Amino acid sequence: MRTLTSGEVAKYCGVNLRTVIRWIEKGHLKSFKLPGRGNNRIQLQDFLNFMAEYGIPLPEEYRDYSRRILVVDDERPMADSIQRVLRVAGYETKTAYDGFQAGDAIRTFLPAVMTLDLSMPGLDGLKVIEYVKRDTALSRLKILVISALPESKLDEALAAGADDVLSKPFEKDVLISKVAVLLSNGVQRGRLERV
């Protein structure tokens, strides 16, 4: 996985290197130290989480990560339909056809939003939501459940941590609108000290 130096983060955020080191020391920005030298390295996923959490605009070269959507549905025609609608709307997409593929794609594709069917063989949608919510490294990932299951199951998905739900069948404009809202609703923990 791609990593960044603390100097690169400072450049991207328009701050002094010492400010980035303080962010790391205070636990705002997750990092690890290289053996021997002690230099800080920040994994790309942690950098993207940090930027989203504090409402800092992404640098030009990373903006495509804020438009990535993972489509998870075991019914290929439905997955293809969702993907087509999102691509026409200008999003970069990847498809996973079960919960296990979704887990792998979340780590490699680094989506900002995941559309998720609840009813899938093996690892179902509720288990995928639990997986995402257990891992703080995935905190920026927004989950839009798209399912034909009854409203009680959609409520269960929201209670488990999904950010929004959409019943099948749906209008493409509603899908695009819900994705846009999820992408515009960053967590934004607060203000960071800048030097």
Higher pLDDT, 192 or 58: 58
For the segment 138-154, the average pLDDT, to the nearest whole number, is 93
In the structure, what pLDDT confidence band is assigned to residue 195 with cuts at 50, 70 and 90?
very low
Q: Is the pTM of this model over 0.95?
A: no
What residues does each domain of the chain span?
3-57, 63-184
The CATH superfamily label for domain 63-184 reads Response regulator (3.40.50.2300)
pLDDT, tens digit (0-9, with 9 covering 90-100), for 24-77? 999 999 999 988 777 899 999 899 989 888 888 888 888 888 899 999 999 999
d(CA 132, CA 183): 17
Radius of gyration of the chain (CA): 18
Contact in structure between 175 and 168 (CB atoms under 8 Å): no
d(CA 71, CA 86): 9
pLDDT, tens digit (0-9, with 9 covering 90-100), for 81-128? 999 999 999 999 999 999 999 999 998 899 999 999 999 888 899 999
CATH of region 3-57 = 1.10.1660.10
